[in-house]
Chains A and B, each alone.
Chain A
Amino acid sequence: MRKLPINTPTPAHSALGVVGAGVEHDSAWLHTSGQARYIDDLPEPEGLLHAAVGHSEQAHARILELDLSQVHASPGVVAVITAADVPGHLDIGPVFPGDPVLADGTVEHIGQPLFAVAATSHEAARKAARKATVKYQPLDAVITVQDALEHQLFVRPGRRQQRGDPDQAIAGARHQLKGQQHIGGQEHFYLEGQACLVEPTEDGGMFVHTSSQHPSEVQKLVAEVLGLPIHCVQAEVRRMGGGFGGKETQAAPLACVAALLARVTGCPVKYRLSRSDDMVQTGKRHDFFNTYHIGFDDSGLIKGADLMVAGRCGYSPDLSDAIVDRAMFHACNAYYLDQARVVGHRCKTHTVSNTAFRGFGGPQGMMIIEQAMDDIARHLGKDPLDIRKLNLFGPGRDVSHYGQTIEQQVLPELIEQLEHSSAYRQRRQEIIALNDRNPVLKRGLALTPVQFGISFTAKHLNQAGALVHIYTDGSIHVNHGGTEMGQGLYIKVAQVVATAFQVDVARVKVSATRTDKVPNTSPTAASSGSDLNGMAALDACEKILGGLVAFASSHWQVSEEQIRFQNNQVLIGDQQLGWEDFIQTAYLNRIPLSSSGFYATPKIHYDHDAGQGRPFLYYANSAACSEVVVDTLTGEYRVLRTDILHDAGRSLNPAIDIGQIEGGFIQGMGWLTTEELVYSTEGRLLTTGPATYKIPAVSDCPPDLRVALLKDSPNHEATVFHSKAVGEPPFMLGISVWSALRDAVSSLSDYRFSPPLDTPATPERVLNAVTETRRWLSQQENGQ
């Protein structure tokens, strides 16, 4: 088989838009002219009904009576269903059971669907769904992580990773520190709320248009609730108006409800959530409570670490097992913890079941060690950057606490470059001087790294399929298992295919992801979209090329080495054929112009019981340096400048990658600053819309934002064109803002006190940190 030009430089006369070019998003014009269709924009089929659900108003209760007479009587209502109307599986838990599609006797969170309504309009359905009379018998509800830890209430058993004897190492170290932190959750706030449109097919099946990162799971679960074989149900995803993990498992319940209503009524059913229902009924990023106990020497080098991470999973497992696993993997972030123990708890609470969100537990895990880095620095009177650099993985210190060797060490050089390009040392001095002169505004600076493992930690998900067709005019059509949520996956895969055939990317079209084109797909998640689907598409191209080259060799009587694809041409010996002519000739000679492709990630394995293995194919690396200014009267703050240097390997599309980096950073900053989910003591979410839940707005973007890709850093692994995944890693760059806020507050103590700062670090929490710091100062003064 012909070897693909994976490692060869792009030829001088290259086709347009191949890998490495900053091509615009394939839907750019459709987006900017409002012609891109999302679920609610699709032409509506005849007889369309609209769905809504009535949900629990109690966090934990037995349902004594569910009176739906007023719901039935509400104008426009066509059908009402409950758990009793589900012909197939009631449980739609994605990995472990625990998620009934409609509540059956007991409710375990406020917002849990009790019954579903189909009505003639969206409004009629929503109004009807509010008219049920429900009698509850309240049961004890556990709302917070602390409560769950106290009650030892978990959705899955806890796990531990350990190397050596951390207790002894900590005790024997020159210095010891302990700390803890509460990390708030995060609402995805995809601009397009959850939505689907389900149409019954002629043969008793269903066709599902869904806004989902995981169409294969939607397909499977719809089939299961209906009691049908999977092949009776097909799902299609053209695009999502944002996903961020929130449409990995959370889209399926809607599709199941709509399919059940479609089955009962025989009509197509659309189900979309209003923003407040979306915020109440669907899962979010896990809150975490973390602790550390570390021992270190005079230089700040960690000798032993005992870390605990506890995630608020909500009422059911959903993906929480893997999410807390990832928090444990990344509790070391980029640092070598010599003797270490990491314990992870999956806390059960009577709140909505928390789910995947960009970073998948990784960010929450990293936060504990980043807090420790700052705390060590204050304790020793050193610059936090020096402590971070000192503790990085390095030669002889390159095996993580779970046994994976960090083979490609990018960060020491990357941080060095960023430290220089951001003028960290010089600005540190300037900030000290500025802070001296200003009585109320204090600046802070922090440079924090990210080392993020790439692969699904559930090994079987690391596979992908693709389908490539070349038509007789030379135009190329691609399907793959990945979904488009704005991240630019379609254009990247198109670029991969264009590169394989050395034709302009304009010749390649990627169309909607469908379960009947590529089956059994994995979710588009874990930053894996282009790694997996790009390789699968490349495999398909390689198969087609193999046939084409063999054909050309025999047809034109040249050796295979004399055949080259270059800039929309095929060079065959001393002949040159245009791509269209070549394809036309191949077609006339009955050569296959279509193939499926497949990819399975090599090398990975992990033993959960031992807590050891190689869960990741490789690591993506990044670092950010942020400067903030804090008002010590109110706790208000702004980010003034952020410099980012990111390792995307050999980038498939630098423009798209920079978009992911900037967007991820801002989203991570929002998670740690203004985005606050507030629950009542009864477990009711009080922040149910953008009026009270504040994601970053335009003024929150640092006025000086400098983002660069690390140069000359191809992935050492054989990934698609030696690129690196870019979806999630930049999210954790937001930690630099949090650390800079602590730095600004710490300046009040002349950097001797490390102020606690739980997240989100709202102005109120920042002001509390200011107050704590001043209290510490006055204690010091009084003590002397």
Chain B
Amino acid sequence: MIEFVLNGRAEAIDQADPNQSILEWLRTKKRLTGTKEGCGSGDCGACTVITGAPDKNGQIRYEAINSCIALIGSLQGKHLLTIEAFRGQPAHPVQQSLMDCHGAQCGFCTPGIVMSLIALHSESAPDADDHKLMEALAGNLCRCTGYRPILEAGRQALVQSWQPGSESHPARYLASANNADGLATTDDTSISSLEALNGHHYYAPATLPQLKRLLRAHPDARLIAGGTDLVLEITQQLKALPRLISLERVRELNGSQLEENRLVIGAATPYRQLHRQLSGLWPAFDHLLERLGSLQVRNRGTLGGNIANASPIGDMPPALIALDATLVLDGPEGARELPVEQFFKGYRQTDLKPGEFIYSIHIPLPEPGQRLFIYKVSKRLDDDISAVLGAFRLTLKNGVVQDCRLAYGGMAATPARARLTEAALLGKPWSQRSVEHAIKALGNDFSPLTDVRASSTYRLQVAGNLLHRALLENSELHHRDTPLMVTDYA
């Protein structure tokens, strides 16, 4: 049984195929058709809805998510708001501004845009700046307007306040101080599960012991966290995932904690929740986390998921390898720790043994003289997968490279270090000449593939040039505020 609140009303799903996305359930079972399917892969935002779940303080955090790649089981104990909550008059300021600014043409992407903007409005109006606005909209594609009127509408709406107007407004909790009141269930310590007549199962344990017990009982189960990648197997490949165990509610796997010399991040912590803390320690992550997927994806996607999925183009692993971060894996044989670098065994292959899962990620804190550079290169700035991602940790002493770890994504079957290039830099002055010399070794470190994102030649050329960029960032130019990347104009 899954219990949640849909547009202000308690909803329970007893028996249903847990492979169903929230979108499919809304459109086919509830015939709430305001939420649209544009791609079914979490890349266009037409299906954006708002979910709210209580944070540590019991206050509900509302977030925009892609309902096409979130399964219905993930709704346990949450508020779900769809565009249907905003059918009444008066219009929400977001809707009114969109009308005033002519922000909808064909209208198909509009409900998703409205929901993204309402999520932003509820979270940060009137303090949201253009930067926040762009971040909130980066996962919503519009093919008609070219976005200018949508941005204008966002600016106008964010400086207005909104009140639900009546006590029965479907979105009344969005503006209420005690917004957890409406939740149907406060029981967050037991396993919630969903079962279908066809035998498909979805388990969402709340604690680590429950998780371990379920893993023992169902050795064939797939683990799901945010599902932003896994659910594509259902929607794009039309596969059935008969047994799923969700990590989303497992308390021990959620949240992050600063220890003496490291940051410990629970594997099931969504990017959105670790963004601030991580980039506070290592500022280079700030930019990366703004361009990893879209906000809808970062609200669901988790750090552990990005690692376990072992894609050669995952954005976080190269940075973690550059930092010499480690993983704690837990499983039937007990916990063990290993460097992130050693976790990847081959194309989409990891060191995980049967029954094992990622428990946490340990990220070392900066040491004096250390600097981290992370550069993502993709065709499009927003919501794109990297052609090449370079992450470099450098320790300089008197202008000499004392230590360096250069890790790349998109250059090999796994995220990997450029060890020969590192060796060529080590002990050398951090200079144009050293970099030019060192990057000659990149061709021996990597033989990247040609695919839809980039050619092998481009990848090698850019991998080397990113080191030049890091050099420039350390130069006098940088200190004079000369822009060095096109994203400096964002």
Interface residue ranges, A against B (CB under 8 Å): 22, 24-25, 27-38, 40-41, 43-44, 121, 123, 126-127, 130, 188-193, 239-244, 274-276, 437-441, 485-488, 629-631, 633-638, 640, 655-656, 658-659, 662-667, 674, 676, 678, 686-687, 689-692, 694-701, 703, 705, 762-764, 767-768, 771
Q: Could you tell me the distance in whole angstroms from the C-beta of B314 to the nearest C-beta in chain A?
A: 14
Say if the beta carbon of B347 comes within 8 Å of chain A: no
Contact of A659 among B91, B140, B144 (CB under 8 A): B144
Contact of B490 among A30, A441, A699 (CB under 8 A): A699
Q: Is the CB of A190 within 8 A of B143?
A: yes
Contacts of B352 in A (CB 8 A): none
Which of A666, A695, A764 neighbours the largest number of chain B CB atoms within 10 Å of its CB? A764
Contacts of B99 in A (CB 8 A): 24, 28-29, 32
Q: Is the CB of B377 within 8 A of A689?
A: no
With A191-B106, A699-B134 already in contact, 15 other A-B pairs whose C-beta atoms are closer than 8 Å: A27-B104, A130-B238, A190-B106, A190-B143, A191-B141, A274-B40, A275-B38, A439-B472, A440-B468, A631-B486, A636-B381, A638-B486, A659-B105, A663-B105, A696-B146
Say if the beta carbon of B398 comes within 8 Å of chain A: no
Quick one: CB contact mask for B129-154 with A, threshold 8 Å, 1 for yes? 00000100110111111111111000
Which of B83, B102, B378, B461 neighbours the largest number of chain A CB atoms within 10 Å of its CB? B102
Quick one: CB contact mask for B317-338 with A, threshold 8 Å, 1 for yes? 0000000000000000000000
Q: Is the CB of A701 within 8 A of B148?
A: yes
Contacts of B151 in A (CB 8 A): 698, 701
Q: Can you name 8 A-B pairs with beta carbons within 8 Å?
A: A32-B98, A40-B27, A190-B143, A242-B144, A634-B462, A635-B458, A635-B462, A662-B149
Q: Is the CB of B147 within 8 A of A37?
A: no
Q: Could you tell me the distance in whole angstroms from the C-beta of B408 to the nearest C-beta in chain A?
A: 14
**Residues of B292-342 whose CB lies within 8 A of A:** none
Q: Which residue of B lies closest to A687 (CB)?
A: B452
Interface locus among B186-194, B272-280, B477-485: B477-485
**Residues of B35-55 whose CB lies within 8 A of A:** 35-41, 43-44, 46
- Given contacts A37-B33, A275-B41, A440-B484, A694 and B106 within 8 Å (CB-CB): no
Contacts of A664 in B (CB 8 A): 146
CA distance A280 to B254 in the complex (A): 40
Contact of A697 among B95, B236, B380 (CB under 8 A): B380
Contacts of A24 in B (CB 8 A): 99-100, 102
Q: Is the CB of A667 within 8 A of B143?
A: yes
Q: Is the CB of B141 within 8 A of A242?
A: no
Q: Is the CB of A486 within 8 A of B105?
A: yes
Contacts of B469 in A (CB 8 A): 440, 633-634
**Residues of B340-396 whose CB lies within 8 A of A:** 377-385, 387
Q: Is the CB of B105 within 8 A of A488?
A: yes
Say if the beta carbon of B77 comes within 8 Å of chain A: no
Say if the beta carbon of B109 comes within 8 Å of chain A: yes
Q: Is the CB of A694 within 8 A of B102?
A: no
Q: Could you tell me the distance in whole angstroms from the C-beta of A543 to the nearest C-beta in chain B?
A: 32
Q: Is the CB of B454 within 8 A of A636?
A: no
CA distance A24 to B102 in the complex (A): 6
Q: Is the CB of B146 within 8 A of A662?
A: yes
CA distance A766 to B484 in the complex (A): 17
Q: Is the CB of B104 within 8 A of A31?
A: yes
Contacts of A36 in B (CB 8 A): 107
Contacts of B105 in A (CB 8 A): 25, 486-488, 659, 663
Say if the beta carbon of B466 comes within 8 Å of chain A: yes
Q: Which residue of A lies closest to B82 (CB)?
A: A34
Contacts of B138 in A (CB 8 A): 697-699
Which of A276, A486, A664 neighbours the largest number of chain B CB atoms within 10 Å of its CB? A486
Q: Is the CB of B114 within 8 A of A276?
A: no
Q: Could you tell me the distance in whole angstroms from the C-beta of B292 to the nearest C-beta in chain A?
A: 14
Contacts of B380 in A (CB 8 A): 674, 694, 696-697, 700
Contact of A34 among B43, B111, B134, B379 (CB under 8 A): B111
- Given contacts A192-B36, A441-B484, A634 and B41 within 8 Å (CB-CB): no
> Number of contacting residues on B, CB 8 A?
85
Q: Could you tell me the distance in whole angstroms from the C-beta of A196 to the nearest C-beta in chain B?
A: 16
Contacts of B458 in A (CB 8 A): 635, 764, 767-768
Say if the beta carbon of B251 comes within 8 Å of chain A: no
Q: Is the CB of A674 within 8 A of B489?
A: no
Say if the beta carbon of B25 comes within 8 Å of chain A: no
Contact of B146 among A29, A33, A667, A767 (CB under 8 A): A667
Say if the beta carbon of B212 comes within 8 Å of chain A: no
CA distance A568 to B37 in the complex (A): 43
CA distance A662 to B39 in the complex (A): 24
Say if the beta carbon of B126 comes within 8 Å of chain A: no
Contact of B110 among A32, A441, A662, A696 (CB under 8 A): A32
Q: Is the CB of A690 within 8 A of B106?
A: no
Q: Is the CB of B46 within 8 A of A689?
A: no
Say if the beta carbon of B453 comes within 8 Å of chain A: yes
Q: Is the CB of B41 within 8 A of A692?
A: no
Q: Is the CB of A764 within 8 A of B455?
A: yes
**Residues of B64-112 whose CB lies within 8 A of A:** 82-84, 86-87, 91, 95, 98-100, 102-111
Q: Is the CB of B489 within 8 A of A276?
A: no
Q: Is the CB of A764 within 8 A of B144?
A: no
Say if the beta carbon of B255 comes within 8 Å of chain A: no
Contacts of A636 in B (CB 8 A): 377, 381, 485-486
Q: Which residue of A lies closest to B146 (CB)?
A: A666
Q: Could you tell me the distance in whole angstroms from the C-beta of A741 to the nearest C-beta in chain B?
A: 12
Contacts of B103 in A (CB 8 A): 32
Q: Which residue of B lies closest to A278 (CB)?
A: B39
Say if the beta carbon of B185 comes within 8 Å of chain A: no
Q: Which residue of A lies closest to B480 (CB)?
A: A437
Contacts of A38 in B (CB 8 A): 36, 108
Q: Is the CB of B46 within 8 A of A191?
A: yes
Q: Could you tell me the distance in whole angstroms from the C-beta of B474 to the nearest C-beta in chain A?
A: 14
CA distance A655 to B82 in the complex (A): 29
Contacts of B43 in A (CB 8 A): 689-691
Q: Is the CB of B462 within 8 A of A698?
A: no
Q: Is the CB of B453 within 8 A of A276?
A: no
Say if the beta carbon of B402 comes within 8 Å of chain A: no
Say if the beta carbon of B431 comes within 8 Å of chain A: no
Say if the beta carbon of B434 comes within 8 Å of chain A: no
- Given contacts A25-B102, A275-B38, A655-B102, A441 and B486 within 8 Å (CB-CB): yes
Which of B36, B43, B380, B451 neighbours the largest number of chain A CB atoms within 10 Å of its CB? B380
Q: Is the CB of A662 within 8 A of B145?
A: yes
Contacts of B107 in A (CB 8 A): 25, 27, 30-32, 36, 239, 241, 486
Say if the beta carbon of B465 comes within 8 Å of chain A: yes
Quick one: CB contact mask for B399-415 with A, threshold 8 Å, 1 for yes? 00000000000000000
Q: Could you tell me the distance in whole angstroms from the C-beta of A188 to the nearest C-beta in chain B?
A: 8
